[in-house]
C-alpha cells in the first residue's frame, strides 16, 4: 500500500478499522496514531477527533461545535490501537472556544470515560515554542529557501497523510487582544523538492482532521483543520508554496483549552523542549525526508482486500442508554 494511507481497510457491524502498518505515521517510525479517531457518529470520517487528554478531543466547531452541521449529542466515536483493536466511546457534549465573542472554530469535546491505556493522547507545543527557533517562521508568500520552513504532517477525511510547510500570515489583528498570527497558522505545499509531491489539497469534508509536527521521534499536535484549499488550486500535485489551509493553534489557545480540561482536573501536556535551548528546534522538526521518501514495500500477504476511502457508516444511537451514560455529568462539566 501507499505509505501515506493510514488505513488498510475497515468493516462494519461491528465497526472495525485496520491500520496500514507501512504508513509514514506508524510504529515502524515510532509514531502513534491511536489517539486519532477514525469515525464519529453522524459525520463519519469528517470532523477528525484527536485526543488531548484521556477524556477530551478537539475538532472543528463548524462540524460538531457551536453552529456546527452535526452538533447534537450524545454521539459515538471510535479509536483503534496499534493491535487493530477498535474501541467505542460516547461524546457527551462540547465547548467551543471564543475570543472577544468570536468563534475560533476550535471545540473541545468530552468523552463518557477515559480511553483504554492502549490509546494515546497527544502533547502540544508550549506557548513559547517559537522562541526555540533560530530564526522566525517565514511569512506568506514563502521565500524560495525552504531551509527556514517547518514541515508538518496532516490528515484528511480519506485518512491519507499529506506533508506541507507551516507559515504565519501578514494579516490584520483578529481580536482586540490577540493578533491572528498568534491564533491561526497556515499550511502551504512544500518548497522542499524531495517531498513537495507529497502535499495534498484540503477539501470540503476534511475539517477537524489533525495537523502534527515532529519533535524528536514524537508526533506533536498543532491543531485541526478550519479552512482548506481554494478550488482554483485544488490540483494534484500542488505547486510549491500553494495555500493548503489554515487552523487554530492549540498552543495559542493553551489557556482557553486548559480552562475546559481543568473542570475535570485534566491538563494539556506540552512536549519538553529543554534540549533545544542550545540547538535549533527547526533542524529536528525538518528531518522528515527519510520518512516520506522511503520506498513502498510489497504486500506482506496474499490478502487482496483493499481499502476504498469513504466516510465510515453513521451508527444510530440506541434508546435512552446513551443519555443515562453521563449526560447529567456533562451538563455539570460544561457549566462549571
pLDDT digits (tens, 9 = 90+) for 232-264: 555 566 777 788 899 999 999 999 999 999 999
pLDDT of residue 103: 92
Of 102-116, 160-174, 213-227, where does mean pLDDT reach its minimum?
160-174
Residue 311 has pLDDT above 70, yes or no: no
Say how many Å lie between the first and final Cα of the chain, rounded. 48
Q: What is the mean pLDDT of the chain?
A: 81
Residue 282 has pLDDT above 90, yes or no: no
Q: Long-range contacts of range 22-29, CB-CB < 8 Å, 24 or more positions apart?
A: 22/296, 22/297, 23/161, 24/153, 24/161, 24/291, 24/292, 24/294, 25/153, 25/161, 25/212, 25/219, 27/82, 29/217, 29/291
pLDDT at 193: 80
Q: Is 288 exposed, middle or buried (0-12, 13-18, 19+ CB in 10 A)?
A: buried
Selection from 85-89, 155-159, 162-166, 225-229 with the highest mean pLDDT? 85-89
pTM of the model: 0.84
The CA–CA distances, whole Å, from 301 to 25, 82, 297 equal: 21, 19, 11
For the cut 70, the answer to whether the pLDDT of residue 161 exceeds it is: yes
pLDDT (0 to 100) of residue 59: 96
**Mean per-residue pLDDT for 84-89?**
96
Going by C-alpha positions, the residue among 219, 262, 222 that lies closest to residue 55 is 262
Q: Answer for the pair 273, 122: CB distance below 8 angstroms, yes or no.
A: no
Cα separations in angstroms, 189 against 22, 196, 243, 336: 23, 6, 7, 42
Amino acid at each position: 500500500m501507499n505509505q501515506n494511507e493510514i488505513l488498510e481497510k475497515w468493516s462494519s457491524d461491528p465497526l472495525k478499522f485496520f491500520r496500514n502498518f507501512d504508513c509514514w505515521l506508524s510504529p515502524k517510525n515510532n509514531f502513534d496514531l491511536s489517539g486519532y479517531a477514525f469515525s464519529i457518529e453522524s459525520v463519519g470520517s469528517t470532523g477528525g477527533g484527536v485526543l488531548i487528554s484521556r477524556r477530551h478531543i478537539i475538532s472543528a466547531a463548524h462540524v460538531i461545535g457551536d453552529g456546527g452541521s452535526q452538533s447534537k449529542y450524545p454521539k459515538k466515536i471510535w479509536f483503534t490501537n496499534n493491535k487493530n483493536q477498535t474501541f467505542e466511546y460516547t461524546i457527551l457534549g462540547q465547548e467551543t472556544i471564543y475570543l472577544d465573542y468570536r468563534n475560533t472554530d476550535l471545540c473541545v469535546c468530552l468523552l463518557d470515560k477515559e480511553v483504554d491505556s492502549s490509546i494515546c493522547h497527544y502533547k502540544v507545543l508550549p506557548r513559547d515554542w517559537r522562541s526555540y527557533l533560530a530564526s522566525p517562521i517565514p511569512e506568506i508568500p514563502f521565500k524560495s529557501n525552504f531551509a527556514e520552513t517547518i514541515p508538518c504532517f496532516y490528515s484528511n477525511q480519506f485518512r491519507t497523510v499529506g506533508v506541507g510547510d507551516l507559515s504565519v500570515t501578514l494579516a490584520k489583528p483578529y481580536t482586540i487582544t490577540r493578533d491572528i498570527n498568534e491564533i491561526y497558522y497556515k499550511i502551504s505545499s512544500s518548497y522542499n523538492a524531495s517531498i513537495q509531491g507529497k502535499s495534498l489539497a484540503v477539501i470540503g469534508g476534511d475539517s477537524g482532521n489533525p495537523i502534527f509536527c515532529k519533535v524528536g521521534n514524537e508526533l506533536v499536535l498543532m491543531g485541526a483543520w478550519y479552512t482548506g484549499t481554494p478550488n482554483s488550486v485544488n490540483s494534484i500535485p500542488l505547486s510549491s508554496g500553494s495555500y493548503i489551509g489554515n487552523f487554530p493553534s492549540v498552543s495559542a489557545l493553551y489557556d482557553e483549552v486548559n480552562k475546559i480540561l481543568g473542570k475535570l482536573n485534566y491538563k494539556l501536556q506540552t512536549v519538553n523542549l529543554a534540549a533545544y535551548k542550545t540547538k535549533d528546534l527547526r533542524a529536528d522538526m525538518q528531518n522528515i525526508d527519510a520518512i516520506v521518501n522511503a520506498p513502498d514495500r510489497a504486500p506482506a500477504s496474499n490478502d487482496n482486500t483493499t481499502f476504498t476511502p469513504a466516510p465510515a457508516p453513521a451508527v444510530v444511537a440506541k434508546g435512552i442508554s446513551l443519555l443515562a451514560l453521563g449526560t447529567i455529568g456533562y451538563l455539570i462539566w460544561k457549566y462549571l
